């Protein structure tokens, strides 16, 4: 019983960063029908900016600087990649965002003095609580709070505001969006700016969880965040949150229970990766539109 | 001075010219019909007027002001609104949300928006019944009504409708034209782009287009029994 509760708590907290990154991915997909492979690097670039700013500035201010850099990067990718390619085939756009990610990682390695580990202080140090021998740091609680806050804000944005409606309209009918006077460019900047904000927050918080290297958010979170987004239905914000959390749970359950089976432990040391893959395949087979996606 | 003045408008796609110097005027309060066969350049004319496409040359003046090459949002703010060919409603949004977004440029005016929604529902009771239905799940005719309604929400002075009657049953087309009459009577200047000559009965001015130029212009009673119009347009149809 103790182990069960500990596994659940761990799963929830380890799923939160996936969900936070997935929110940004879903936002961009919802707003411009683009698979944004640069979402992770909005995070790492923000983390590097915060790390550098932290040489001169207190940690909270440095984190804020990092987040602002994340927003700037989101806006920059919209202006110089997404907008010029707006009428190009979707696959070109996808490759272009992947190129942005690899370019950003190369820049971090080059300008940041190589791939060595760096540490950015947690915004709040120490453990928040301990459940059955599992310690949860304050920083993880912060990730969870950020997830809750942004999920709520985005929900309200899309369900309660005209601006949220306009963003959805722009993704569904760009020509008509201009014709009613909204202006698709401003909506596109808004979406990518918000995605930069979400990525930046993810990166700055994630960098405070453990030592980090160039490309860390892409490497540690991006694949899982994409799985979370797809499992959740790709256009559904609650779906992204649920997808991320389910992923965290699947990982923690397979890590703590499946590894007890001798065959598994001996042959599959990283069984939680396999479990994520099985989850993805199962969801795609049983419900191709995702848990909360609209029927295609 | 005419409300809309189009002067020697030239436009095309890529390097392919389509409009070869189109000139016409529409007076405030009129309903004008722009007729022409498939590919004549009617849609190209209106998209270049409202800024969806940028003209290669010539002038567009609205209410005396040069608006050539302005963006659609700028023109909507000035009071020029196009109901585009193919409806282009926002498919996943409800009827009501589509209408709300139509009023984007005056979204601070809650009372005005409520009144416009009421007016649209009065013109098209079908839309009121389907207020919360996703636009994409409605019939083609219903979507056409919604597209016109959404255009009205901008409270335009000049409303251009590209193929209002396309794909509608004769009965529904009649209803739509009757609503166009009501819109016009409420003070809005209307330009109908049509292949349907039935629209002539609702028009004060007719323009016939052929291969990128205007081949006939007429006003008043003349257009309803003009043999020249019939020869140029119907005769070759
Ligand atoms: N997006 C485009 N790219 C290239 N050529 C185009 C484009 N749109 C229209 N054309 C060409 O421009 C010419 C005029 O087309 P336009 O759509 O203005 O005709 P139309 O009078 O509206 O016809 P219809 O009654 O069929 O709608 C046609 O020859 C057409 O092939
Ligand atoms: Mg046309």
Q: What is the pLDDT of residues B96-136, one digit of tens each?
A: 999 999 999 998 999 999 999 999 999 999 999 999 999 99
pLDDT in tens, B147-171: 999 999 999 999 999 998 888 888 8
Higher-confidence residue: A222 or A116? A222
DSSP string across A79-141: IIIITTTTTS-HHHHHHHHHHHHHHHHHHHHHHTTSS--B----SS-SEEEEETTEEEEHHHH
**Contact A169/B at CB under 8 A:** yes
Of B88, B90, B154, the CB nearest to A181: B154
Out of A7-11, A199-203, B101-105, B229-233, pick the least confident: B229-233
Torsions phi, psi for B110 (to 5 deg): -60, -45
Q: What pTM, to 2 d.p., does this model score?
A: 0.87
- The rounded distance, in Å, linking the Cα atoms of A285 and A279 is 10
**Is residue B206 scored above 50 in pLDDT?**
yes
Helical (H) or strand (E) element with B235: none
Across the range A70-76, mean pLDDT stands at 97
By the 10 Å C-beta count (0-12 exposed, 13-18 middle, 19+ buried), A15 is classed as buried
Predicted local confidence at residue B226, as pLDDT: 65
**Is residue B237 scored above 50 in pLDDT?**
no
- The rounded distance, in Å, linking the Cα atoms of A93 and A33 is 10
The three-state DSSP-derived secondary structure of A19-64 is: HHHHHHHHHHHHHHCCCCCCHHHHHHHHHHHHHHHCCCCCHHHHHH
Pull the structure tokens for residue A116.
């060595």
Neighbours of A266 (CB within 10 A): 9
Pull the structure tokens for residue A13.
């907290």
**Contact A295/B at CB under 8 A:** no
Is the C-beta atom of B38 inside 6 A of ligand 1?
yes
CB contact under 8 A, A182 and B81: no
CA-nearest of B71, B57, B63 to B28 is B63
**Contact A163/B at CB under 8 A:** no
**Is residue A127 scored above 80 in pLDDT?**
yes
Across the range B228-233, mean pLDDT stands at 66
**Is residue A95 scored above 60 in pLDDT?**
yes
Nearest residue on chain A to B107, judged by CA atoms? A162
Tell which atom from ligand 1 comes closest to the C-alpha of B41.
18
**Contact A289/B at CB under 8 A:** no
C-alpha to C-alpha distances, B197 to A159, A215, B213, nearest whole angstrom: 44, 64, 19
Out of A249-263, B7-21, B202-216, pick the least confident: A249-263
Tell which atom from ligand 1 comes closest to the C-alpha of B212.
14
pLDDT in tens, A138-192: 999 999 999 999 999 999 999 999 999 999 999 999 999 999 999 888 999 999 9
Tell which atom from ligand 1 comes closest to the C-alpha of B40.
21
Is the C-beta atom of B13 inside 6 A of ligand 1?
yes
* Residue with CA closest to ligand 1 atom 17: B43
Minimum distance, in Å, between the CA of residue A49 and any CA atom of chain B: 37
* Residue with CA closest to ligand 1 atom 29: B39
**Pseudo-torsion of CA B71, B73, B75, B81, nearest 10°?**
120
pLDDT band at residue A1, thresholds of 50, 70 and 90? confident
The pairing of beta strand B4-13 with beta strand B16-26:
antiparallel
Of B52, B88, B101, the CB nearest to A165: B101
Query: Residue A172: its chain B contacts at CB < 8 A?
Result: 90-93
CB contact under 8 A, B154 and A165: no
Q: Is the dihedral of CA A88, A92, A94, A98 positive or negative?
A: negative
CA-nearest of A197, A237, A223 to A31 is A237
Across the range A68-86, mean pLDDT stands at 95
Write down all domains in chain B, each with its CATH number in brackets: 1-78+187-237 (3.40.50.300), 80-155 (no CATH)
Higher-confidence residue: B145 or B237? B145
Predicted local confidence at residue A140, as pLDDT: 93
- The rounded distance, in Å, linking the Cα atoms of B17 and A178 is 24
pLDDT in tens, B183-201: 999 999 999 999 888 888 8
Mean pLDDT of chain A: 90
Q: Which of B9, B11, B13 has the most ligand 1 atoms within 8 A of CB, as the residue to mutate? A: B13
Nearest residue on chain A to B105, judged by CA atoms? A181
pLDDT band at residue A90, thresholds of 50, 70 and 90? confident
Query: Residue B71: its chain A contacts at CB < 8 A?
Result: 178, 183
DSSP string across B148-216: HHHHHTT--SEEEEESTTTT--HHHHHHHHHHHHHHHHTT-EEEEEES-GGGGGG-SEEEEEETTEEEE
| Model ipTM value | 0.90
pLDDT in tens, B7-57: 999 999 999 999 999 999 999 999 999 998 888 999 999 999 999 999 999
**Contact A285/B at CB under 8 A:** no
C-alpha to C-alpha distances, A111 to A51, A52, A107, nearest whole angstrom: 13, 11, 6
Closest ligand to A87 CA? 1
CB contact under 8 A, A175 and B91: no
Predicted local confidence at residue A34, as pLDDT: 92
pLDDT band at residue B231, thresholds of 50, 70 and 90? low
The CA-to-CA distance between both ends of chain B, in Å, stands at 34
DSSP string across B88-101: ---TTSBHHHHHHH
Predicted local confidence at residue B156, as pLDDT: 95
Query: Any idea what the Cα angle at residue B132 is, between residues B126 and B134, rounded to 5°?
Result: 90
Across the range A37-63, mean pLDDT stands at 95
Across the range A250-260, mean pLDDT stands at 85
Predicted local confidence at residue A183, as pLDDT: 87
Across the range A261-265, mean pLDDT stands at 75
Percent of chain A scoring above 70 in pLDDT: 99
Across the range B201-217, mean pLDDT stands at 89
Q: Are A171 and A30 in contact (CB under 8 A)?
A: yes
């Amino acid at each position: 019983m103790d182990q069960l509760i500990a596994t659940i708590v761990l799963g929830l907290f380890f799923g939160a960063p996936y969900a936070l990154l997935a929110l940004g991915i879903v936002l961009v997909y919802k707003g411009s029908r683009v698979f944004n492979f640069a979402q992770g690097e909005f995070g790492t670039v923000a983390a590097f900016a915060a790390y550098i700013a932290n040489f001169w500035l207190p940690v909270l201010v440095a984190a804020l600087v990092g987040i602002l850099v994340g927003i700037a990067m989101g806006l920059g990718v919209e202006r110089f990649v997404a907008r010029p390619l707006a009428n190009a085939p979707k696959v070109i756009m996808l490759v272009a965002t992947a190129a942005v990610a690899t370019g950003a990682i190369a820049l971090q390695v080059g300008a940041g003095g190589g791939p060595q580990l760096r540490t950015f202080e947690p915004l709040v140090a120490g453990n928040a609580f301990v459940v059955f021998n599992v310690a949860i740091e304050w920083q993880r609680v912060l990730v969870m709070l950020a997830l809750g806050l942004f999920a709520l804000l985005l929900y309200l944005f899309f369900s309660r505001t005209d601006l949220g409606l306009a963003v959805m309209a722009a993704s569904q009918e760009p020509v008509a969006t201009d014709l009613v006077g909204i202006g698709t460019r401003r909506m596109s900047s808004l979406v990518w700016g918000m995605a930069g904000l979400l990525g930046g927050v993810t990166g700055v918080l994630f960098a405070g969880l453990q030592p980090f290297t160039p490309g860390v958010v892409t490497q540690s979170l991006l694949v899982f965040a994409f799985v979370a987004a797809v499992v959740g239905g790709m256009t559904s914000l609650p779906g992204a949150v649920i997808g991320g959390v389910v992923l965290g749970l699947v990982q923690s359950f397979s890590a703590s229970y499946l590894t007890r089976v001798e065959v598994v432990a001996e042959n599959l040391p990283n069984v939680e990766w396999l479990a994520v893959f099985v989850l993805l395949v199962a969801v795609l087979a049983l419900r191709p539109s995702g848990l909360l996606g609209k029927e295609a | 001075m005419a409300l809309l003045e189009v002067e020697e408008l030239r436009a095309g796609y890529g390097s392919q010219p389509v409009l070869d110097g189109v000139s016409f005027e529409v007076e405030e309060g009129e309903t004008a019909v722009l007729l022409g066969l498939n590919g004549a350049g009617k849609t190209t004319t209106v998209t270049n007027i409202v800024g969806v496409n940028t003209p290669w040359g010539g002038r567009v003046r609205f209410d005396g002001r040069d608006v050539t090459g302005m963006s659609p949002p700028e023109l909507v703010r000035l009071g020029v609104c196009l109901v585009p060919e193919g409806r282009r409603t926002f498919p996943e949004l409800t009827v009501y949300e589509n209408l709300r977004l139509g009023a984007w440029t005056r979204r601070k005016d809650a009372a005005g928006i409520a009144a416009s929604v009421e007016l649209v529902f009065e013109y098209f009771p079908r839309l009121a019944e389907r207020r919360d239905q996703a636009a994409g799940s409605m019939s083609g005719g219903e979507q056409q009504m919604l597209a016109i309604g959404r255009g009205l929400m901008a409270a335009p002075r000049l409303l251009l409708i590209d193929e209002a009657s396309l794909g509608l049953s004769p009965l529904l087309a009649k209803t739509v034209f009757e609503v166009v009459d009501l819109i016009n009577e409420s003070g809005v200047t209307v330009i109908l782009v049509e292949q349907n000559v039935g629209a002539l009965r609702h028009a004060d001015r007719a323009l016939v287009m052929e291969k990128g130029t205007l081949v006939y212009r007429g006003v008043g009673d003349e257009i309803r029994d003009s043999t020249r119009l019939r020869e140029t347009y119907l005769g070759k149809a």
